[in-house]
Structure 1
Amino acid sequence: MHDPSDHDHAHSDDAHTHDHEAAPATERWKHDGVRVIPGDKLDSNTAQTPGMFRQAAINHARVGAQKIWAGTVAIAPDAKTGVHHHGALESVIYVVSGRARMRWGDKLEFVAEAGPGDFIFVPPYVPHQEINADPDQPLNCVLVRSDNEAVVVNITDVEPVERPETVHWVDPIHKHP
């Protein structure tokens, strides 16, 4: 079996515009076919929201994706994100571990919770706040969006129902005080 980590699949912007008719089928799919992104090779150079840590697995820059973005998000125990939305994008969140509490609406007046194995759908432009409802365990999710860019619009004129400032955001960039 071929080891996907044997070579780098970085492509320039024009890598996916070549003439597929001219290339033999075996060559055509060698670099433009199935891609495996190892879980320890995700890219944290993505739009961030205070209180969470996003990493990209699938996007245009990494694999040439044209219509989706996928990655992971981790929220520390008892942490609460800032209020934000994702523009015209649709988002799907799959809870891998932990307990998610979502607040949404113009004043974050609606609330629902999800656990491992649950899916959450966030429609375009919906102001929301992700909350790790577990004070002891991290919340880990897989995130998929309907475009190859990770649009994040942080909203500062909505008072969060659960204030993010009470929990420190700790990740490789932000150390615990």
Structure 2
Amino acid sequence: MTEEHEVPHDHDHEPRWKNDGIRVIKGNQLDPNTAQTPGMFRQAAINHARVGAQKIWAGTVAIQPDAKTGVHHHGPLESVIYVLRGKARLRWGERLEFVAEAGPGDFIYVPPYVPHQEINADPKQVLECVLVRSDSEAVVVNITDVDPIEPPEAIYWVDPIHSAPKT
């Protein structure tokens, strides 16, 4: 008769995925504990704090009619915006001289270091988007010395990481 041996379970040496596998973040469980701005409501779904993400951030943003950000860029991060509802307008360039618009079902790609401004181009409808960035932490560099072709107006995106334009 052989003696039964108990096999120790050493979880420290198992691949991480065995204990921290796929996560589903329900739409009603997004985290509003992000920098908030008058006229905009951001919620995190995937970030380091919530799921341990190392190289990606994902969440949602709802932008009130005519709201727009100040001029900024996101350093070395790449951003992807997917428009769910509404009409997005992006201005970019040294004087925000370039413009593109996107509607429901469209994707927007923002390369690293591109000075830009995000705008809800619809005066009557909330703009709803999904936002994904290539790092789990936010990087926002405000640019205050831009003389944009179309001056910012309406509601400014002002919070701890987005400053108000100088008047």
TM-score by length of 2: 0.78
Contact 2:97 2:148 (C-alpha < 8 Å) held by counterparts:
no
Q: Which residue of 1 aligns with 2:75?
A: 87
CA distance in 2, matches of 1:64, 1:127: 29
Q: Which residue of 2 aligns with 1:136?
A: 124
Structure 2 residue runs without a partner (length 5+): 1-10, 158-167
Equivalent AA in structure 1 for residue 48 of structure 2: H
Contact 1:84 1:128 (C-alpha < 8 Å) held by counterparts:
yes
Q: Which residue of 2 aligns with 1:75?
A: 63
Say if 2:118 is the partner of 1:124. Answer: no
Report SS of the residue matched to 1:80.
strand
Report SS of the residue matched to 2:68.
coil
CA distance in 1, matches of 2:33, 2:150: 27
Give the root-mean-square deviation of aligned CA atoms. Answer: 2.3
CA distance in 2, matches of 1:66, 1:168: 30
Structure 1 residue runs without a partner (length 5+): 1-16, 170-177
Equivalent AA in structure 2 for residue 118 of structure 1: D
Equivalent AA in structure 2 for residue 88 of structure 1: P
Q: Which residue of 2 aligns with 1:19?
A: 13
Greater share of helix: 1
Runs of 4+ in 1 over 3 A off after TM superposition: 47-52, 159-165
Say if 2:96 is the partner of 1:108. Answer: yes
Contact 1:48 1:152 (C-alpha < 8 Å) held by counterparts:
no
* Offset at residue 52 of structure 1 (A): 3.2
Identity of aligned residues (%): 78
Structure number, greater radius of gyration: 2
* Offset at residue 131 of structure 1 (A): 0.7
Equivalent AA in structure 2 for residue 148 of structure 1: S
Aligned residues: 147
TM-score by length of 1: 0.74
Q: Which residue of 2 aligns with 1:55?
A: 43
Contact 1:50 1:82 (C-alpha < 8 Å) held by counterparts:
no
